[in-house]
Amino acid sequence: MTTAETETGVLAGEQRMLIDGELQLTSGGATFDVLHPASEQVAGQASDGTIEDMARAIGAARRAFVTTDWSRDLDFRYHCLTQLAQALERNKERLRRILITEVGCPVAVTGSQIESPIAEVTHWAEHGKNFDYLIDNGVHDTPLGPARRKIHYEPVGVVGAITPWNVPLYLNIAETVPALMAGNTVVLKPAQLTPWSGSEYGRIVADETDIPAGVFNVVTSNANDVGAALSADPRVDMITFTGSTATGRAILAAGAATVKKTLLELGGKSAHIVLDDADFNAALPMAAMMACVMSGQSCILPSRILLPRSRYDEGIEILKTTMENFPVGDPWTPGTMQGPQISETQRQKVLGLIRSGLDAGARLITGGGIPPDLPVGYYTQPTLLADVDPDSLIAQEEIFGPVLTVTGYDTDDDAVAIANNTIYGLSGEVSSADVDRAFAIACRMRTGNVTINGKSHFGIGSPFGGTKQSGLGYRNGDEGYKEYLETKTIGMPE
Ligand code: NAD
């Protein structure tokens, strides 16, 4: 099955990259295969861009930043991004099929990856249009007499955007649209496993918007070197990156030579502290569900469940029941809530971590392997491990699979200490009948974001970022927009 379209809905995306306003294959014409994780079959090909292609794209973005009015013409940017939102809306069902084809995420849960990012384009267009780019900072006394100061927010320049595969269209848009609206020019390098969510976006920009040549470029590639070239190039002023902490470190190091501004959203190992007064029947089925939708391939997933010893067995039973009844299967079937892992490599990583947990003394409550009724496709059973040692590998490494670990605790202080016992600090959750008690615990968690009683911290209107080794800087909210702007202070006569 290498056709572009089949009766199951598999759909291949745009093969060409977008460089300097032209949709094009790499110079040698090389491509790489894109697999559909539910069938393990090749669904089509993407252009295998080279370091030379990346260099041309960066050159085009640099030229567009310096020689066009893009950085100065706010009304035109608003016009182009409004066009983009409309174009994405027109292409919505095509983008959804391409997303399911390359990620394998269930059709039932694609709303947050299709409808939400399209709405976010409109959000950023409006936010950018109404943003105050010039602020009067008042008159200040100086040794040379009074000076008025004005603060001018200006685009950073050429922004390199590097994205992962787990929520590709969402992150391609989240990383690039605020950057564009703020007046930057952009080079996007999508993940190897999900090139089409990037190349289709490029095609839509080229064919259906007035965004000028060079302002937005997309370079797909099967090689990590091409992303590395983007993060090291002196013509790039800023890197915005979402992905693993290991790659984040490499990007930070590559940008050090030119002191590149770097926005990093990295891995997580978040904890859910379930307090002894919590409504277990509200909190735990939801916790189990969140671990399985997207096959656990979510950076903000609270994958470590911390249960009070006084109600330990009760909590495990609820988690087990939800996981054992979770609808795993073909992502194209509307009732499916968990599809496959994105690749065999990822599945083997998940299974290896489960084995390491068992070797370290954890108790398998359910799952632990490949669903026997799903031999084709990279499926993994929803898996629950209890009695997990907080220092063991499975409690320390990001799993990125439908796996929950359970660790018992005695006091609230113990729970906070276990939650904070990680290099990561992306998100977290607290459940309690007493919201003030939960809030006090949330404030003690060394993490960028916390959900209390299922009320999500995540959304376009509020800043989102990681602490510790989960990241640097913010997406979303006004903080997220300002990341793509430099702050210039101008002193002048009163
Ligand atoms: P990854 O770090 O392997 O790859 C991400 C991107 O970096 C890809 O486009 C890849 O080609 C590129 N890349 C790889 N090596 C590079 C290098 N040396 N220089 C520059 N670019 C390079 O991550 P992944 O496996 O694609 O995605 C999963 C990870 O993403 C998980 O750790 C997850 O937690 C994280 N993630 C974080 C957030 C967040 O908001 N914090 C959101 C989604 C995913």
Predicted confidence (pLDDT) per residue in 214-246, tens digit: 999 999 999 999 999 999 999 999 999 999 999
Chain segment 163-216, per-residue pLDDT in tens: 999 999 999 999 999 999 999 999 999 999 999 999 999 999 999 999 999 999
Q: Is the pLDDT of residue 334 over 70?
A: yes
What's the CA-to-centroid distance between 210 and ligand 1, angstroms? 30
**Residue 338 and residue 402 in one domain:** yes
**Residue 382 and residue 287 in one domain:** yes
Q: Is the pLDDT of residue 397 over 50?
A: yes
Average pLDDT, integer, range 459-463: 96
DSSP codes joined into one string, 193-255: T--HHHHHHHHHHHHH--PPTTTEEE---S-HHHHHHHHH-TT--EEEEES-HHHHHHHHHHH
Using most ligand atoms within 8 A of CB, pick from 224, 240, 343, 400 the residue to mutate for ligand 1: 224
Which residues lie with the beta carbon below 6 Å from any ligand 1 atom? 162-166, 189, 191-192, 224, 227-228, 231, 242-244, 247, 250-251, 265-268, 299, 398, 426, 466, 471
DSSP codes joined into one string, 40-71: TEEEEEEE---HHHHHHHHHHHHHHHHHSSTT
**Residue 407 and residue 455 in one domain:** yes
Q: Is the pLDDT of residue 461 over 60?
A: yes
Q: What does the alpha-carbon distance between residue 483 and residue 460 come to, in Å, rounded to a whole number? A: 14
Question: Do residues 128 and 181 touch, judged by C-beta distance below 8 A?
Answer: yes
Dihedral class, residue 42 (left if φ above 0, else alpha if ψ from -120 to 50, else beta): beta
**Residue 453 and residue 479 in one domain:** no
**Residue 367 and residue 480 in one domain:** no
**Residue 252 and residue 349 in one domain:** no
215 in a domain, yes or no? yes
Average pLDDT, integer, range 258-267: 97
pLDDT band at 28 (very low <50, low <70, confident <90, very high): confident
Question: Do residues 100 and 93 touch, judged by C-beta distance below 8 A?
Answer: no
Amino acid 27: pLDDT? 85
Chain segment 85-133, per-residue pLDDT in tens: 999 999 999 999 999 999 999 999 999 999 999 999 999 999 999 999 9
257 in a domain, yes or no? yes
172 in a domain, yes or no? yes
Q: Is the pLDDT of residue 7 over 60?
A: no
162 in a domain, yes or no? yes
**Residue 167 and residue 291 in one domain:** no
Amino acid 8: pLDDT? 56
465 in a domain, yes or no? no
Quick one: which atom of ligand 1 is closest to the CA of 189? 9
pLDDT band at 254 (very low <50, low <70, confident <90, very high): very high
Q: Is the pLDDT of residue 292 over 90?
A: yes
Q: Whose CA is nearest to atom 18 of ligand 1?
A: 228
By percentage, how much of the chain surpasses pLDDT 70? Answer: 98
Give the count of domains, the chain.
2
**Residue 311 and residue 359 in one domain:** yes
CATH number at residue 245: 3.40.605.10
Average pLDDT, integer, range 438-445: 98
Provide the domain limits for residue 100.
3-266+471-492
User: 265, 397, 429, 483: which is the annotated catalytic residue?
Assistant: 265
72 in a domain, yes or no? yes
Amino acid 3: pLDDT? 41
**Cα separation values, 188 from 107, 172, 219, 376, Å:** 26, 8, 6, 33
Q: Is 314 a catalytic residue?
A: no
Amino acid 209: pLDDT? 98
User: 102, 299, 397, 398: which is the annotated catalytic residue?
Assistant: 299
Question: Do residues 354 and 405 touch, judged by C-beta distance below 8 A?
Answer: no
- Mean per-residue pLDDT of the chain: 97
466 in a domain, yes or no? no
**Residue 421 and residue 391 in one domain:** yes
**Residue 207 and residue 341 in one domain:** no
464 in a domain, yes or no? no
Q: Whose CA is nearest to atom 19 of ligand 1?
A: 228
**Residue 332 and residue 228 in one domain:** no
CATH number at residue 315: 3.40.309.10
What's the CA-to-centroid distance between 251 and ligand 1, angstroms? 10
Burial of 311 (0-12, 13-18, 19+ CB in 10 A): middle
**Residue 232 and residue 361 in one domain:** no
H or E segment at 314?
helix 312-324
What's the CA-to-centroid distance between 410 and ligand 1, angstroms? 36
Amino acid 6: pLDDT? 46
pLDDT band at 358 (very low <50, low <70, confident <90, very high): very high
Q: Is 80 a catalytic residue?
A: no
In the Cβ-directed half-sphere of 439, how many Cα atoms lie within 13 Å? 3
Q: Whose CA is nearest to atom 32 of ligand 1?
A: 244
